[in-house]
Amino acid sequence: MKYIIKQQEPQAFSEWKAMASEDWQPTYGELSGNVKQSVKQTLMSEQGYICCYCERRLIDGDSHIEHFRPQNDPQVDPLDYANLLCSCQNKIEKGEPRHCGNLKNGWFDEQLLISPLSADCAERFAYSGDGKIRPANPLDNSAQVTITRLGLATPKINALRSKAIEPFLDDDLSVAEMKQFVAAYLQKDGQGRFGEFWTGIHYLFRGDAIL
């Protein structure tokens, strides 16, 4: 889970909400068209086009706007941009396991769910070369619950994470080449995208961890 620094909400979204009047109040259910797309695009951009939870590549047709705190909570403003994220998975194909926002659904526990909006979120998890994830501290129950509730250790996600890690396990790379490879991967590309499973790569191969 990578720390997400929220940006300013898109102007189109602000203007749409500002149209509120005695006769009409904006609701999330009415958010649609270009305004909704501007929200989603801004969320994807600020996350470097990786899922807010598992860090898979975000694709417009296979992702959705996620309310971190469920919008059915009466204390939550469903149009509060600070509470919006972008999660992978949109429509679930038959037999495909749910994970991330789809698996989380309406569940929320402030004490047990680690937020990608918390600056220390990445430090709560550890990774192994075969793509598996675990709590960085074995006694961190919140990290374990978060992994379970978001499906971050499903066979599918582990396999995808392992595939992303595999190129870094090339024994033919020198230490200098490895450091250059890792440094390049951890930077956004020309399209503003982070590499998939960024946190796992950072954990395993960041400069001070390469011997």
> Per-domain residue ranges for the chain?
11-209
> 145-187 pLDDT, tens per residue?
999 999 999 999 999 999 999 999 998 989 899 999 999 999 9
Phi, psi torsion values for 125, nearest 5 degrees: -125, 150
> 0.85 exceeded by the pTM?
yes
> 119-129 pLDDT, tens per residue?
999 999 999 99
Q: Which residues contact 119 (CB under 8 A, 6 or more apart)?
A: 3
In the structure encoding, which two tokens stand for residue 72, read together?
A: 């059915």
Distance between terminal CA atoms of the chain? 25
- Residue 207's pLDDT band (boundaries 50, 70, 90)? low
Residue 2 above 90 pLDDT?
yes
Residue 154 one-letter amino acid: T
DSSP state of 23: S
> 33-56 pLDDT, tens per residue?
999 999 999 999 999 999 999 999
In the structure encoding, which two tokens stand for residue 137, read together?
A: 């501290």
Could you tell me if 137 and 168 are in contact, meaning their C-beta atoms sit under 8 angstroms apart?
no
